[in-house]
Chains A and B, each alone.
Chain A
Amino acid sequence: MITVEGLKKNYKINVKKGIFKREQQINEAVKGIDMQIKPGEIVGLLGLNGAGKTTTIKMLSTLIEPDGGKGDIDGMDLIKNAFEIKKIINMIAGGERMIYWRLTAKENLEYFGKLYNLPKKLLKNRIDELLSFVGLTEKMNVPVEQYSKGMKQRLQIARGLINDPKYIFMDEPTLGLDAPIAREVRKYTKKLARENGKGILLTSHYMNEIEELCDYVYIIDKGRKVMEGSPRDVISIAAKNTNKYIIRLESFSDKLKNNLDDFIKSVSSEYKIDNFDNAYDIEISSNKDIQSELITLLSANAKVLSFKVQEPNLEDAIIKLLEVS
């Protein structure tokens, strides 16, 4: 299990105050985060850009030393036992960097495999399996510089699994992948956790991915944790079970407007309206079940072209949460 308490990280930055004058400022990137990741669990780490997600992942992957707090992975201290921890973790980051472009996929995996001291035969088998999994077997002897962006990202995933890590830190792993491959990656991520018992920490800006995969999420903002819980719990607490009613009307008279204003006020909700293409789109947010009253009110005053109820999702919850934070 990964356990961190009060994890902190500060960066010293030099800010120019004139031609020759510089002032050193401290940037508190992570201000005290508590977190737990159990084997077999997929944990999401969410937040806006600059919240401290990547710094947190780098601390857990022993690339950066925390400035405060404590953390351990399977009882091994993050600072004192960093070398031992490296054997059982790995990181998968999005993007096109972090691989050797002049080497082929196979050569890249051979290189990293050797750095983990994998025996020759095991390494060979694992390379074949991983290349097959990410769909790069046919191109395994082609230099990476000739790969598409998606292929490079898939190779990153293969590289991140080369040492069969117990804990995997995935920093936007499906970034740049087409839908079928992204789906396969999500399927495999679930398999890694459920069947192989790996603990996974995942960051992603694709909320449907987080909702699909994560057992638990931590939401951070400006270096601090603002909420944690299962995705369902977060939605219900943050979004306060606020449903969205999306209605399209043929017309919107003054009488209807007045009636709607009174009704919305009485149920302590809010709405907005857009007009285009000779129709009116109304969006009403409410944590009360007002479906039947709404239908009655609207159909009495206009022709209802469509009526949809949208339950709150994680994206809504996070946006609401971070607005408040």
Chain B
Amino acid sequence: MAGKVFNSILAEAVKQYKSNYHSRMVYYSMLFWPILQLFASYYSYKPFENSKASNVISALVGKDKVFAFVIFGYMGYMFFGSFIQSAWRFSYERVSGTLELIYITPASRIGIMLGNALSSLLVSAWMFTVFCAGALIFFTDLKLKIYMLPVAILCLTIPAICWGVFLNTLFMFTRDSGLLFEVFQAPMEIFGGAKIPYQAFPFWGKLIGGIFPLTWSLIIIRKIFMNGATILNIKSELLVLILFCILLSILSKYLLVKAEKYARKTGNIAMF
């Protein structure tokens, strides 16, 4: 069983990687966009700089740390984004007819979804490394404890994979994956705390933000990099994140079975 899952993960990850990340252009674009979006986000704060309320964000984020706050926010958001993009790309398997061929095999379905998510890992890791290195060079007052770096990486990677796999299973239900993508992606950007501090939201905003694993990943990442947090300092957020990952994994497995049953009933695998 484990062998079957592993084979499916490996096969799918290699295939997606070769199909989608087939040129160096991809690697440069994975850096270029986050940089552009990062600056767009940073400049969107400029209309409020030196206004009466600009100390509000300083109080929440830390004095002179707005840019660092935004950088880590966007890094996390883009990291999640690349897994979500790979989930969305999988829906093109319908168009090319290869989804049918995957369904005709006895391959592990969850393995396929995981493999698809993992195909983005290399490229996302590249982006993460560059951003981290840049942040550490440019922000000399960051308080990162180096032994917490693997914790930060895991707190970003595992929830992102779980979220990507979950969305992928949702996309399997519908030919209209574009709408689902928008419904999940845009609120995640706002309420997930990528550019607006989570603490600044009203209660209902926090409720919405709280359903995205990105929110908790970002809180942890920022605490680790900007405040020098240890495991004890992030234990409650870590617990929430672990519970999220378990829940998303169970839900994904359940939905995958349902999606295939639904596709077999309606015959809509080949329709797009």
A touches B in complex, CB < 8 A: yes
A116 and B15 contact, Cβ closer than 8 Å, known pairs A12-B266, A63-B264, A98-B98: no
B19 touching A102, Cβ below 8 Å: yes
Give a binary string over B255-272; 1 marks a CB under 8 Å from any A CB, 0 the rest. 000000100111101000
The A47-100 residues at the B interface (CB cut-off 8 A) are: 55, 58, 61-65, 82-84, 86-87, 89-91, 95, 97-100
Secondary structure type dominating chain B contacts: helix
Among candidates A9, A98, A117, A163, residue contacting B3 with C-beta atoms closer than 8 Å: A117
**How many whole Å from A25's CB to the nearest CB in chain B?**
14
Among candidates A11, A83, A90, residue contacting B267 with C-beta atoms closer than 8 Å: A11
Interface status of B106 (Cβ within 8 A of chain A): yes
Which size bracket describes the interface of A in this complex? 35 or more
Give a binary string over B75-103; 1 marks a CB under 8 Å from any A CB, 0 the rest. 00000000000000000000011101111
The interface residues of chain A lying within 8 Å CB-to-CB of B266 are 11-12
**How many whole Å from B8's CB to the nearest CB in chain A?**
6
Among candidates A12, A83, A91, A100, residue contacting B106 with C-beta atoms closer than 8 Å: A83
Among candidates A9, A11, A82, A116, residue contacting B107 with C-beta atoms closer than 8 Å: A116
The interface residues of chain B lying within 8 Å CB-to-CB of A90 are 104
Interface status of B14 (Cβ within 8 A of chain A): yes
Which size bracket describes the interface of B in this complex? 20 to 34
Select from chain A the residue with minimum beta-carbon distance to B112: A115
The interface residues of chain A lying within 8 Å CB-to-CB of B264 are 62-65, 82
Scoring B7, B8, B104, B265 by chain A CB atoms within 10 A of each residue's CB, the highest score goes to: B104
Give a binary string over A288-308; 1 marks a CB under 8 Å from any B CB, 0 the rest. 000000000000000000000
A112 touching B22, Cβ below 8 Å: no
The interface residues of chain A lying within 8 Å CB-to-CB of B15 are 100, 103, 107, 111
Give a binary string over B235-272; 1 marks a CB under 8 Å from any A CB, 0 the rest. 00000000000000000000000000100111101000
A63 and B3 contact, Cβ closer than 8 Å, known pairs A97-B96, A114-B10: no
The interface residues of chain A lying within 8 Å CB-to-CB of B145 are none
A115 touching B18, Cβ below 8 Å: no
B96 touching A112, Cβ below 8 Å: no
A114 touching B8, Cβ below 8 Å: yes
Give a binary string over B1-20; 1 marks a CB under 8 Å from any A CB, 0 the rest. 00110011011101100111
B22 touching A102, Cβ below 8 Å: yes
The interface residues of chain B lying within 8 Å CB-to-CB of A99 are 98
Residues of B near any A CB (own CB < 8 A): 3-4, 7-8, 10-12, 14-15, 18-20, 22, 96-98, 100-107, 112, 261, 264-267, 269
20 A-B pairs with CB atoms under 8 Å apart are A63-B264, A63-B267, A65-B261, A83-B106, A86-B105, A86-B106, A89-B104, A90-B104, A95-B97, A100-B15, A101-B96, A102-B20, A103-B18, A107-B18, A110-B11, A111-B14, A114-B11, A114-B107, A115-B7, A159-B101
